């Protein structure tokens, strides 16, 4: 039998597209079609299983899948014996407690004796225990946000991203319980061949992650400003400097992190940089 790494990803839903995109950007071509349960990669020893996200940790623990891509919210809720290998920076959301917007809320003490509806009873009960709050947990499997409105609970603990679901249901967010994003997980019992494939996959995922959060920047600068411009640019090593045909001018190339991007561009302009070009990076291998 061929040695393949079996990776489980969400069949459909919020993490599906980004998971497929991550694999594709890692150079993995899949034979996907509609309603498929599995797909094999043409050019990498990988088989992809399409599952419901909640089931992924169990499949990985049982060894039916060797690895998976799933939200941290699920990983921490279901507490299976699996390894969190790498956070992938997509599917970001937070698990938060929300209460009706007209409820007086000052701090966690206001939740004492209250009923909180959630699909995350393990994480919530741990959170309440840590903060010594005695509240009742009402486990519901969906439409958590309607629980206070229909009189099922006083508060909810649910995933939030934009906050519009809470707003539409007359709720306000009052406590952050967990920050979450999609993560690569793996079985704790991989043989050496599968471990090697996972290592290669991780290497590629890291290159994709880095490239997504960095931009390649090219600019022209007068030579007497090069010192200050190089100080502003926090590249991987030092920036590349090439002379321009026009005397007294140089072209400077570097890599800039997305988070600081606008701040850096402004400083560069203030310090004499011209003709600034910003280019997306296809892959970044350090
Ligand atoms: O069918 P399957 O079981 O696989 O999918 P699912 O319906 O259980 O999950 P799905 O596709 O909704 O979410 C998959 C994963 O995406 C979650 O486990 C999280 O890790 C991640 N994620 C990121 C989110 C959100 N953002 C999110 N906003 N999951 C759910 N939501 C929901 C939330 O529950 C609430 O109903 O979106 C609503 C809030 O969104 P805002 O933007 O209005 O705040
Ligand atoms: Zn689910």
pLDDT score, position 213? 87
Q: Identify the nearest ligand to the CA of 11 by its number.
A: 1
The predicted model gives 78-82 an average pLDDT of: 97
pLDDT value of residue 146: 97
- In the DSSP assignment, the letter for residue 273 is -
- For ligand 1, mutation pick of 161, 178, 179 (most atoms within 8 Å of CB): 161
Q: Token digits for 269?
A: 């302009």
Beta-sheet strand order (sheet of 136-139): 136-139, 115-118, 155-160, 93-100, 171-180
pTM for the structure as a whole:
0.91
CA distance 14 to 168: 20
β-pair partners for 243: 250
Distance 14 CA to ligand 1 centre (A): 6
CA of 205 to the centre of ligand 1 (A): 23
Which residues lie with the beta carbon below 6 Å from any ligand 1 atom? 10, 13-15, 52-54, 71, 73-74, 91, 93, 158-165, 180
pLDDT digits (tens, 9 = 90+) for 81-130: 999 999 999 999 999 999 999 999 999 999 999 999 999 999 999 999 99
Q: Dump pLDDT digits (tens) for 228-238.
A: 999 998 766 77
Q: What tokens were used for 196?
A: 């090697």
CATH architecture of 5-91+181-211: 3-Layer(aba) Sandwich (3.40)
Q: CB-based contacts of 237: which residues, under 8 Å, 6+ apart?
A: none
* Ligand 1 centre distance from Cα of residue 164 (Å): 13
Supply the residue whose CA is at minimum distance from atom 29 of ligand 1.
159
Residue with CA nearest ligand 1 atom 6: 13
The pLDDT tens digits for 6-31 are: 999 999 999 999 999 999 999 999 88
83 Cα–ligand 2 center, Å: 20
- 38-45 contacts, C-beta under 8 A, 24 or more apart: 40/4, 44/200, 44/201, 45/2, 45/3, 45/4, 45/5, 45/197
Q: Please, where in the chain does CATH 3.40.190.10 lie?
A: 5-91+181-211, 93-180
Architecture per CATH, domain 215-280, reads as 2-Layer Sandwich (3.30)
**What is the per-residue DSSP string for 105-130?**
--SGGGGTT-EEEES-HHHHHHHHHH
Helix residue spans in the chain (DSSP H): 16-25, 56-62, 72-78, 121-130, 164-168, 192-212, 226-232, 261-270
- The yes/no answer on whether domain 93-180 falls in CATH 3.40.50.1980 is no
Contacts of 200 (CB under 8 A, 6+ apart): 44
């Amino acid at each position: 039998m061929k040695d393949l790494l079996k990776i489980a990803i969400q069949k459909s839903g919020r993490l599906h597209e980004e998971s497929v995109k991550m694999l594709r950007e890692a150079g993995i071509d899949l034979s996907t079609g509609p309603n498929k349960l599995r797909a094999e990669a043409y050019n990498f020893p990988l088989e992809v299983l399409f599952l419901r996200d909640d089931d992924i940790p169990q499949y990985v623990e049982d060894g039916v899948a060797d690895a998976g891509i799933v939200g941290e919210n699920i990983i921490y809720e279901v507490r299976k014996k699996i390894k969190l290998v790498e956070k992938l920076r997509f599917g970001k959301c937070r698990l938060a407690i929300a209460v009706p917007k007209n409820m007086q809320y000052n701090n966690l003490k206001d939740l004492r004796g209250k009923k909180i509806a959630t699909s995350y009873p393990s994480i919530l009960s741990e959170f309440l225990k840590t903060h010594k709050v005695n509240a009742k947990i009402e486990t519901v499997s969906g439409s958590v946000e309607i629980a206070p409105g229909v009189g099922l609970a006083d508060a909810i603990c649910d995933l939030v991203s934009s906050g519009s679901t809470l707003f539409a249901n007359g709720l306000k967010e009052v406590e952050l319980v967990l920050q979450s994003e999609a993560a690569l997980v793996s079985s704790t019992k991989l043989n050496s061949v599968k471990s090697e494939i996972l290592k290669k996959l991780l290497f590629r995922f890291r290159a994709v992650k880095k490239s997504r959060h960095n931009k390649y920047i090219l600019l022209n600068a007068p030579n007497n400003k090069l010192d200050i411009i190089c100080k502003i640019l926090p590249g991987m090593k030092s920036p590349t400097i090439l002379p321009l045909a026009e005397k007294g001018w140089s072209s400077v190339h570097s890599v800039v992190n997305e988070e600081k991007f606008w701040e850096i561009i402004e400083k560069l302009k203030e310090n004499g940089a011209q003709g600034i070009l910003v280019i997306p990076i296809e892959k970044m291998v350090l």
